[in-house]
Structure 1
Amino acid sequence: MAGEAILVAAQSGRALAESARRAGLRPFVADLFGDADTRDLAEDYRPLPGRFGTGRLGGGALLGALDALAERAGPRCLGLVLGSGLEGAPDLMAEIARRHRLIGAGPETVAALKDPLGFAALCRRLSVPHPAVTRDALDDPAGWLLKRAGGSGGGHIRPATRGRAPVGAYFQARVPGRAFGLSVLADGRDIAVVGLTEQWSAPSPLRPHRYGGAVLRAAAEAPPLPAALVGEITGAVARLAAATGLRGLASADVLSDGARWWLTEINPRPGATLDILDRRGGSLLLAHVSAAEGRLPPLGPPPVDAAAAEICYGARDYRPVPPIAWPDHARDRPRAGTDVARDAPLCTLLATGRDGAAARAALRERAARLHALLDQEGTDEHECEVSERQRTDGAAG
């Protein structure tokens, strides 16, 4: 496969493009942000219009962008990998699949997993713990959340309101516990566990459940959940994967208080934890390709150290972003001269450590240093090329 092209479309395509380069592939990328490192990694790039988290990445413009990239990629192209952004648009996915070879979950699988009421019914049939969901008016909204179907990044989650759920949204019952993500490879029949990550939120005034980051513990650390519970979760995800024909990399979002657990959703695509999971020597993107073709590849031993990744949100408006020497541990670096609004995703920070606590502590130090560096720099607008499109609030996908 070395030297072959691969198409990437996502809200933020950098992590997939970086994984493709590690695998010796040539990525052709379409995304919302057009960050400096994404453009450096991409063999060719096309910007997409839209806002983060809408679940319908780029709309009709995505089709044109992918057609143009495919023409540039030429005949030696493996196909198209989709990241976040199409969970709410299986119809658009179906149109894409008619034009390009999809590597990963197909439109029918995405439709089955991302329809809130249908997914809840499937969980009941397969005896999978899942919070109650409804679109009907609630007697007491205090025990419920309002979510947008197909939304991503947590920015779309709000406290429930009175009356029926708005069009395209639904209510989900609140359940206790901390957030975890079980990342898996699926071949349409079975799964292989890639890793169990602990996740956290980065609340903002308007987005109390906005995604913050995740950590993968070191190999020698105690697991974050009891082994019996992890076994139950893994079995449940395996049943759902077989029932829906899930293929490729995917992640299951779980809430657990250590004794009980609830599966809140399955994201049928490579997710925000790709940076910290793709450290096993072999390429996780190539494993995704193999699983999508129906073959679960060997994953190799897990990394010895812990790894963490966190979205660094703007502490203030950067209009425009000043030209700085970005540290090596920063990813999704906005180009100098573009605009990043306060509380919008500024970049992604990575860290490793002897254990999960050390990795998270390193993230806090690196975020503080980055904000200090940005505050020290002047923002001479006459020397910066202002972007035509401003980043909007949300989390990089």
Structure 2
Amino acid sequence: MAGVSARLVAQSAVRAGLRVAALDLFGDRDTRDAAELWFDIGCGALAVDRVRLVDALTRLARLPDLLGWIGGSGLEPLMARLCREPGLPRLLGNAADTLEAVREPRRFFALLDALGIAHPSVSFERPTPADDWLFKDADGCGGTHIRPAAQVDAAPLPARGYFQHIGGGQSMSALFIGARGRAYLIGFAEQLSCQIGTLNYVHAGSIGPIAMPPAVVVRIQAALDALCERTGLVGINSCDFLFDGAEFQWLEINARPSSTMALYETASPDAWPRGLLACHLDACRFGRAPSSASLALAREPRWCAGQQVLFAPTPFTVSLAFSDLCANDPQCRDVPMPGTAIEAGQPVCTLLVRAASASAVRCALDDAHTRVALRIETCDEPDYAFIQSHF
């Protein structure tokens, strides 16, 4: 598993009985616990270094019985070249042509128009006036690629940049598994975002499964089926869209395993006893759809779940006490290693909770956020962190 963070998919793979090599930027404690091998593929700016990633994948390709590799978030600008790179393991996910069909803005929105799928208005020229428009870079992820159009200067725009009119409604996502030209819908989640510095739409988590009107579910299912048939989407993918209570507008397809996997594995553990990644591998390797029994259980979740990223309010160095407390907290994920220096606005950890309803999940997330944020203030930096920073 390779991406900005590999923890979620690594843990899901372990549930499937697999041995895991994790390649990411953080090397968090629970990532290293799940993986037998970990490689740092960061470039020092919370971004993936292509050279280090290719080197790690090339070395892993020599391992016996390797099934292949899975690409996660943060690899969007690299995937076209990685799909052509010789000597890498098999990519267990969408092919290069499929990725281009859903990630290249001109092709994607033209496809939506051809299929009659609604989306906010898009322009590849700077709109005037720009007050109700956003600028997005299709090679970005996590909301860090979204800015108000009025803040975009006259410099040449990124090759895959585009302007999108601000739509109305709640930001939602749909998780689905593509297999043999069909979409097998897992569920819907509400997307959470926050403002960090000048970024107004940073992805901060999700809550789900969320019940949707049956008539809308039928229409979304039809749209996903059409997209899978036309593009060949395979395995776990997610679709971001806006929903105003009656109508939906498509925003983008994330053609890779999504962080919302955790919601469905947490809310319906009986539906996915081997984890959702096992379904992803079955679809990618054999064209096998998830079982009807699993899908039926997923449609009647026992719980609602929520996850929220805790961002650092101030710069701090992770103490052993802080790391240990988070590692032993059942609601903490992506636990940083002792001695990790975290800047203000950077992710500290992810909070994962389960409750009987979405409102109860929000309360539980608030409580967990308050509890863990207090640890940042009360767990002193150890002496060895100062020593490590000087060697």
Q: Is the 8 A contact 1:147 1:171 kept in 2?
A: yes
| Structure 1 residue 38: Cα displacement | 0.8
Of all paired residues, the percent bearing the same amino acid is: 31
Determine if contact 1:11/1:52 at 8 Å carries over to the other structure. no
Q: How does 1:290-301 map to 2 (within 5 A)?
A: 290-293=282-285, 294-298=287-291, 299-300=294-295, 301=297
- Specify the code of the residue in structure 1 equivalent to 2:157: P
**d(CA) in 1 for partners of 2:387 and 2:73?**
28
Q: For residues 140-198 of structure 1, what are the alpha-carbon distances to aligned partners after superposition, in whole Å with 9 as ceiling and x for unaligned?
A: 11111011122110122110036476123221111101011100000141011111111
Contact 1:321 1:334 in 2 (8 A): no
Question: Is residue 2:75 matched to residue 1:77?
Answer: no
Q: Contact between 1:314 and 1:346, CA under 8 Å: does it hold in 2?
A: yes
Corresponding residue to 1:239 among 226, 238, 242: 226
Q: For 1:58, give the aligned amino acid.
A: D
Match of 1:228 in 2: 215
2:202 maps to amino acid? R
> Does 273-282 or 261-270 show the bigger shift?
273-282
CA distance in 1, matches of 2:85, 2:29: 27
Q: In angstroms, what is the RMSD of aligned CA positions? A: 2.0
Q: Normalising by structure 1, what TM-score?
A: 0.89
Cα deviation digits, residues 26-72 of structure 1 (max 9, x gap) = 11011111112111211111101236786xx321221101122333x
CA contact under 8 A between 1:336 and 1:384: conserved in structure 2? no
Q: 1:20 aligns to what?
A: 13
Q: CA distance change for structure 1 residues 66 and 384 in 2, over 3 Å: closer, same or farther?
A: farther
Residue number in structure 1 paired with 2:107: 118
Q: Say if 2:57 and 2:88, in contact at 8 Å, map to a contact too.
A: no
Higher relative contact order (CA 8 A, sep 6+): 1
**Match among 38, 44, 49 for residue 45 of structure 1:** 38
What are the equivalent positions in structure 2 for 1:307-346 lying under 5 Å apart? 307-321=305-319, 323-324=321-322, 325-326=325-326, 327-346=329-348
**In the alignment, what sits opposite 2:274?**
282
Is the 2:319–2:380 contact (alpha carbons within 8 Å) kept by the matching residues of 1? Answer: no
Aligned residue for 1:194? 186
Question: 1:234: how far off?
Answer: 1.7
Q: Report whether the alignment pairs 1:261 with 2:259.
A: no
1:1-397, aligned counterparts within 5 Å?
8-50=1-43, 57-71=48-62, 74-96=63-85, 99-161=88-150, 163=154, 166-168=157-159, 169-217=161-209, 223-278=210-265, 279=269, 280=271, 281-293=273-285, 294-298=287-291, 299-300=294-295, 301-302=297-298, 303-321=301-319, 323-324=321-322, 325-326=325-326, 327-383=329-385, 386=388
- More divergent stretch after superposition (294-303 vs 357-366): 294-303
CA contact (8 A) 1:314 1:341 kept: yes
Report how far residue 322 of structure 1 moved.
5.0
2:359 partner amino acid: A
Contact 1:309 1:349 in 2 (8 A): yes
Conserved? CA contact 1:308–1:359, under 8 Å = yes
Distance verdict in 2 for CA 1:269–1:52, change over 3 Å: farther
SS at match of 1:110: helix
Which deviates the most, 158-167 or 186-195?
A: 158-167
Contact 1:13 1:29 in 2 (8 A): yes
What TM-score do the two structures reach when normalised by structure 2?
0.90
Contact kept, 8 Å, 1:185 with 1:288, in 2: the verdict is yes
Q: Cα deviations across residues 272-299 of structure 1 (Å, max 9, x unaligned)?
A: 1121122322321110001113110213
Query: Which blocks of at least 5 consecutive residues in structure 1 are unaligned?
Result: 1-7, 218-222, 389-397
Q: Distance in 1 between matches of 2:46 and 2:228?
A: 24
Rounded Cα–Cα distance in structure 1 between residues aligned with 2:387 and 2:180: 47
SS in 2 for 1:142: coil
Alpha carbons of 1:387 and 1:14: their partners in 2 closer, same or farther (altered >3 Å)? farther
- Relative to its length, the structure with more helix (as a share) is 2
Relative distance call for 1:341 and 1:164 in structure 2 (3 A) is closer
Displacement of 1:350 in angstroms is: 0.4
Q: CA deviation at 1:99?
A: 2.2
Q: Is the 8 A contact 2:77 2:140 kept in 1?
A: yes
Given that 1:30 and 1:47 are in contact with CA atoms closer than 8 Å, whether structure 2 keeps it comes out as yes
Return the alpha-carbon distance in structure 1 between the equivalents of residues 386 and 177 of structure 2.
43
> 1:27 & 1:92 partners in 2: Cα distance?
24
Output the CA distance in 2 between the equivalents of 1:51 and 1:17: 23
Task: Specify the alignment match of 1:393 in structure 2.
Answer: none
**Distance 1:157-1:85 versus aligned 2 partners, 3 A rule:** same
Q: Which amino acid aligns with 1:70?
A: A
> Are 2:25 and 2:46, in contact at CA under 8 Å, matched by a contact in 1?
no
> Which amino acid in 1 is paired with 2:341?
D
In the aligned structure 2, how far is the partner of 1:231 from the partner of 1:387? 56
Paired with 2:156 and 2:131, the residues of 1 have a C-alpha distance of 14
The alignment of Structure 1 onto Structure 2 pairs a total of residues equal to: 372
Tell me, in whole angstroms, the C-alpha distance in 1 between the residues paired with 2:389 and 2:115: 49
User: SS in structure 1 opposite 2:274?
Assistant: coil
